[in-house]
Structure 1
Amino acid sequence: MPAHTLSRRSFGAALLGAVGLAVAGGCSSGSSSAASSSTTATAGSGLFDATQVHSITFTFDQDAYDKVIDAYLNDQSKEWLEATVTIDGTTFEKAGLRLKGNSTLRGLTKTGATAGTGNNRGGGPGGSLSAEKPQDLPWLVRLDKYTDGQELGGYNEFVVRSNNTDSALNEAIALELLAVAGLATQKSVSTRLSVNGGSEVLRLIIENPADKWDADNFASAGILYKAESGGDYSYRGDDADSYKDVFDQETDTDNPNLAPLAAFLKFINQSDDATFAADLSKHLDVAAFANYLAFQELVKNTDDIDGPGNNSYLRYTTGKDQFTVVAWDHNLAFGGMGGGGGNRGGGGAPAGGGDQQQGQPPAGAQGQTQQNGGQGRRNGGGGPGGRSNILVTRFNADKGFKASYDKALTDLKATMFTSGKAAAILQTRAAVLTAKASDLISADTVTTEAEAIKANFT
């Protein structure tokens, strides 16, 4: 998205001006926006057109849905549900839906289920989610799950995200700013979602990091691994089975290969301090990692690599024999950990942190570093309710790497905030909601939530 220069007017006035331009250009609120975007989407490139509020409907058998919910409440298993999915007027029969998320789903309840049985804890720390409101649940959507070749504009899957704000602007803005920071990100768009003919609700959908996303974001061949919420970055040996439920291979899944991952984890856990400092750049894109950590600090996302959800990907580039840490999950960006009160699936972090403490540095490795000049939580100990991550701890304990992080903080603040790019992105995304989703969210709510995000830009 091109950068724009904000005038000296207040944000509210600028937003109203932008909305006025959008309306004058023929945009309207309500379901009519779905019809206008249908032509674009059908043409093959409009699914992630962020100038629109897209229309999505799910239709599925209630008994089959109940079985999926029961399976999750019993043992946290996430089974697939066959559904008809319609996007901007284009219908996909025999698509697939699957619950998506970890800490968020800990608040899932179902009427008639016994509280405390399985995962049903009567509204857990992940937020209060009701199985009676499937339109509010987090979903992974696979258009080609049961029908080969189904896609829209090259996309065969996407994620319906949860958020504890009504607008989900905090995540949408964070994702766009990742690109401004030169980091791999996911496209996102606002949608009006309805399930089985029910009322529409405002939801954010984003790209799911998988094969297409990997090819779009990385020029060289490689493998993408996802860190699971119950795992950590500890070295568990070279047996791939030791990493079950700790890391999942997300790309090239027909050729499972955890050997590069195991070697990387062995290095960051078992190398002595001198070797770690000298050789980390051989194993990790150090500059990108410094930018990643600085970015998370600047957008106040405490639910990242060393947060309670262990939210991160590791991307292995085959030709370089090197890893890149990839950002994931920004629904708690801009201080969203304890804020908001929206009904779109909660999004809070588990009370008391994650499931377990991550691996600590080996004997002789440096401990946690001091805070970086008051710049926040990057002391190797995670955020509020978080847990330490061995890579973060050792990176920040080294003076040279710590200096690269401090420089990234200064540079990214200028690039994203001082330049006005963040404010311009926020203004544009907020204007789309006000102009095209006024039946789902009030202008006052959009403005209030946008102002709260903008307060972080100074």
Structure 2
Amino acid sequence: MHRVPVRVRHYWKLLATCAAFVVICALVFSTVRVAPLVTSSSDQTTDRVTQDIAGTTDLFDASVAHEITLTYREEDYQEILDDYWDDDEKNWLEADLTIDGTTIPSVGIRLKGNSTLSGLTRNGEARPGGIGRGGPPGGGQMARPGGAQAGGAQPGGAQRRDAQPGVQPGDAQGGGPQAGGGPGGFGRSSLKAEEPENLPWLIRFDEFVEGRRYQGHRELALRVSGMGGGSTVLNEAVALGTLAAAGQSAQRYAYSSFTVNDRPTTARLVVEHPDEGFADTLGDSGVLYKSLATGQFTDQGDDPTDYADDFKQITMKGSQDLQPVINLIRWVNTSSDADFDAHLADHVDVASVARYLATQNLLLNFDDMSGPGRNYYLWYDLETKKFSVVGWDYNLTLSGDATQGPHDAGRMGGGRFPQGGTPPEGFQPPEGMQLPEGFPPPEGMQPPGGDNGVGEQDRTRGFGGMGGNKLKERFLASAAFKTVYEDAYRELYQKIYAKNGAKNTLDSITKVLPTVDGYNAQTAGADVERLRTLIQQRTDHLATDTVITGR
């Protein structure tokens, strides 16, 4: 007893009472759900910028070639590869970065994407648990049951009879000898850990130095070849440039040489990552929310933590919360058709939603807000209390069926379904198809018609139940919004195709690309010609559509 400290002996009854109280609280309140609350309704961001590096050249001046170099310790790189290989963790690596001659020490870089990295190999071996597990290294493809090849261009370049117009067999979409062309421009991209200059990276300026920005940007994305864009990701660059020219919200981009340590230099597409700086271009006062690939846009109750797999708040953390998004989801999913038609304008900017949906169709973007990657952001204007939809991740644009109509829903690998997106019985993904960036495929994923354990509703929600968005579906199905959608479609068709917006953007890019160190003229030339053909076919086909002609 004398070994117990004097103070403890004196106050043992009080200590015992406190301990008993803690135990009782744990037993009584352990099943009570605690929801996070914001502490104010301020419209100010909580992020504090302490250093904004000006640089020498506007990074997103797309009319000039840029230069980016990364330097890091090889042992640190191997460590983050270990983390990704063993635990599926994409951890940050500290590196020194130089952009157009300006050196920025201690930035954070990490691997970006899920399906994009599905074909990644290390020492010739695929990562355990990857999409391409069990297949040839670097393939990243999905096989049909029984081992048959999935639909699309067949081995040896033979084209199926149902191949889509505007896409030629054998087109090099993956940017190298491993690439295999397929309908809609899908192709395999063979990525090797030993070639970091070819990997998809996210660069963060304040990961190791708090409050730092570069030209107002917190993050930059380095896009990777494949999935319809070829070696130079031309389709995404053309889509972004065309959107900007048409007056639509779009991330900025530029082409840059990219050198990692003493590795060979490659030409890469750099894209503005939607962060606080990008949010500033959307409005004076609002909150930006990112839709996650795991999101379903379904009512899951009042607890914001139950929506953690659906949306991520990007701006104004601590002063705003997810409640506006929860309210929108609930209303869209529960309102009657009459209520939806009469009061949608109370919740969203109807004209902006019409323009967004028309744009995705015009640019043949399968993986929009209803695609398996759920690639979109929501912007909530704090003054109007309304949402707008913002596009993101355009690496599957301009790679589908040129004859897709204004009221057709595109599908993975090209072609089209009637509006609503229900695929035909027995539909198979094209050979070598990679799932869109950010999409984690469910265990035992099957094409439509197969038993994936989710239920019959999968047949009506895009490819294999992986897509679908209730807001988009109800908007396009409603006769009340047909006119505003078709008006937006006609206006944007003029800007994108009839007045050569897409063609002129492609021409501008082809003038810059040859000046970028690491540019491959042969593969880029094939990408340019494929896109030029598709753009012309799309222009000509839509010119005769009744939505465009008004007849």
Q: TM bucket by the smaller chain?
A: 0.7 to 0.9
| Cα separation, 2, equivalents of 1:250 and 1:91 | 27
Q: Any conservation in 1 of the 2:61–2:254 contact (CA below 8 Å)? A: yes
Counterpart in 2 of 1:276?
Answer: 340
Distance 1:115 1:154, change over 3 A: closer
1:448 match:
529
2 CA distance for matches of 1:74 and 1:152? 33
Aligned amino acid, residue 331 of structure 2? F
Match of 1:207 among 261, 272, 279: 272
Q: 1:162 aligns with which of 219, 224, 233?
A: 224
Amino acid at match of 2:529: T
Please say if 1:93 is aligned against 2:109: no
Alpha-carbon distance change, 447 to 328 in structure 1, aligned in 2, over 3 angstroms:
closer
Distance 2:292 2:217 in 1: 24
Matching residue's letter, 2:525: D
Q: Quote how far apart the aligned CAs of 1:111 are.
A: 2.5
Aligned in 2, Cα 1:436/1:82: closer, same or farther, shift over 3 Å? closer
Aligned to 1:423: 503
The partner residue of 1:348 within 393, 409, 434 is 434
Give the distance between the partners of 1:140 and 1:313, measured in 2 at CA: 18
The residue that corresponds to 1:403 in the other structure is 483
Structure 2 residue 399 is matched with structure 1 residue 335: yes
Deviation at 1:441, TM superposition (A): 3.1
Structure-to-structure mapping, 1:57-456, within 5 angstroms? 57-111=69-123, 116-117=128-129, 121=133, 122=137, 123-125=139-141, 127-164=189-226, 165-215=230-280, 217-255=281-319, 257-335=321-399, 338=413, 348-349=434-435, 355=441, 381-382=461-462, 387-437=467-517, 439-442=519-522, 444-445=525-526, 447-455=528-536, 456=538
1:31-90 CA-to-partner distances (Å, cap 9, x unmatched) read: xxxxxxxxxx96555111111121111111222222222323334332111111111111
> How much does 1:193 deviate?
0.8
Task: Look up the SS of the partner of 2:476 in the other structure.
Answer: helix
- What secondary structure is seen at the aligned counterpart in 1 of 2:388? strand
- 1:224 and 1:316 in contact (8 A); partners too: yes
Pairwise CA distance, 1:143:
1.9
Amino acid in structure 2 at the alignment position of 1:417: Y
Which of 518, 521, 539 is equivalent to 1:457?
539
1:51–1:259 distance in 2 versus 1, CA, 3 Å:
same
2:41 corresponds to: none
Of residues 36, 59, 74 in structure 2, which corresponds to 1:47? 59
Rg (Cα) greater in structure: 2
Question: 1:276 deviation in Å?
Answer: 1.1
- Displacement of 1:327 in angstroms is 0.1
CA contact (8 A) 1:354 1:385 kept: no
**Distance in 1 between the 2:297 and 2:54 partners?**
42
> What per-residue deviation string (whole Å, max 9, x for no partner) do you get for residues 169-221 of structure 1?
21111112222333211000011111121001111011111111111x22231
Q: For the Cα contact (< 8 Å) 2:56–2:100, is it kept in 1? A: no
> Structure 1 residues 451, 386: CA separation in 2 closer, same or farther (over 3 Å shift)?
farther
- The answer as to whether partners of 2:57 and 2:100 remain within 8 angstroms in 1 is no
Are the counterparts in 2 of residues 303 and 349 from structure 1 also a CA contact under 8 Å? Answer: no
AA in 2 matched with 1:243: Y
Deviations 1:130-172 (A, max 9, x none): 2222212211111222123544333332111123212222111
d(CA) in 1 for partners of 2:487 and 2:81? 47
Q: Distance in 2 between matches of 1:220 and 1:312?
A: 20
TM-score normalized with structure 1 length:
0.77
Unaligned runs of 5+ in 1: 1-40, 340-345, 358-367, 369-378
C-alpha distance in 1 between matches for 2:192 and 2:264:
15
CA contact (8 A) 2:55 2:100 kept: no
Does the CA-based 8 Å contact 2:56-2:101 persist in structure 1? Answer: no
With over 3 angstroms needed to count, the CA separation of the structure-2 counterparts of 1:43 and 1:248, relative to structure 1, is closer
2:120–2:190 contact (8 Å) kept in structure 1 = yes
Q: 1-side partners of 2:88 and 2:509: how far apart?
A: 35
3-state SS of 1:141 partner: strand
Distance across 2 between alignment mates of 1:296 and 1:71: 36
Q: 1: CA distance between counterparts of 2:493 and 2:289? A: 29
CA distance in 2, matches of 1:238, 1:127: 42
Aligned mates of 2:332, 2:257 — CA distance in 1: 44
Alpha-carbon distance in 2 for matches of 1:414, 1:435: 31
Taking structure 1 as reference, are residues 44 and 234 closer, same or farther at Cα in structure 2, changes over 3 Å only? farther
Matched residue of 1:192: which SS?
strand
What SS does the aligned partner of 1:145 have? coil
Q: Tell me the CA shift for residue 114 of structure 1.
A: 6.7
Paired with 1:68 and 1:254, the residues of 2 have a C-alpha distance of 31
Call closer, same or farther: CA 1:271–1:42 in 2, change over 3 Å.
closer
Distance 1:191 1:120 in 2: 30
- 1:407–1:95 Cα change, 3 Å: same
Structure 2 length-normalised TM: 0.65
- My pick for the range that moved more, 56-65 or 298-307, is 56-65
Give the counterpart letter for 2:339 in structure 1.
T
Q: Given that residues 291 and 409 in structure 1 are in contact (C-alpha distance below 8 angstroms), is that contact kept between their aligned partners in structure 2?
A: yes
1:370-418 per-position Cα deviation (integer Å, ceiling 9, x unaligned): xxxxxxxxx9854698522111111111111233222222221112211
Indicate if the aligned counterparts of 1:60 and 1:83 stay in contact, CA closer than 8 A: yes
Contact 1:170 1:331 in 2 (8 A): yes
Q: Distance in 2 between matches of 1:76 and 1:137?
A: 16
Pair 1:101–1:43, CA change in 2 (3 A)? closer
